């Protein structure tokens, strides 16, 4: 992971804490944690809220198909989806 990836992961973790109203600090959220664990308890509604916050933070739109194909199980999966989204948006902006 380069410094941009670490920064992006930190922003995603901060958004998770804020949007999902978690009783964890961003630093306590690890890549391997299940999004559906008792500590995070992600459901379809707060996934939508979280993705909207990500879109607001990083710009662009994450397609529903991309979310479904990502098979989100862990925090790392979510960060990977956001990272791909950001890279694609930057590529499109530079094209």
pLDDT in tens, 22-44: 999 999 999 999 999 999 999 99
Q: Give this prediction's pTM.
A: 0.90
Token output for 38: 């008792």
Torsion of CA 88, 7, 65, 92, to 10 degrees: -10
Interatomic CA distance for residues 74 and 4, integer angstroms: 20
Instruction: Flag residues of the chain having pLDDT under 50.
Output: none
User: Residue 21 — left, alpha, or beta (φ > 0 → left; ψ -120 to 50 → alpha)?
Assistant: left
Tokens 């950001």 correspond to: 86
pLDDT at res. 27: 97
Question: What domains does the chain contain, in order, with CATH numbers?
Answer: 3-94 (1.10.1200.10)
pLDDT at position 1 is: 63
Predicted pLDDT of residue 88 = 87
* Beta-bridge partner residues of 34: 74
| Burial call 30-53: b when 16+ CB within 10 Å, e when fewer | eeebebeeeebebeeebbeebbeb
Predicted local confidence at residue 95, as pLDDT: 57
């Amino acid at each position: 992971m380069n410094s941009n990836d670490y920064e992006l992961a930190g922003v995603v973790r901060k958004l998770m804490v804020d949007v999902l109203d978690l009783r964890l600090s961003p630093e306590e959220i690890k890549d391997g944690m299940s999004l559906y664990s008792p500590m995070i308890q992600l459901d379809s509604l707060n996934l939508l809220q979280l993705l909207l916050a990500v879109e607001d933070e990083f710009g662009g739109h994450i397609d529903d198909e991309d979310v479904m194909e990502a098979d989100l199980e862990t925090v790392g999966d979510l960060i990977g989806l956001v990272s791909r989204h950001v890279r694609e948006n930057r590529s499109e902006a530079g094209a």
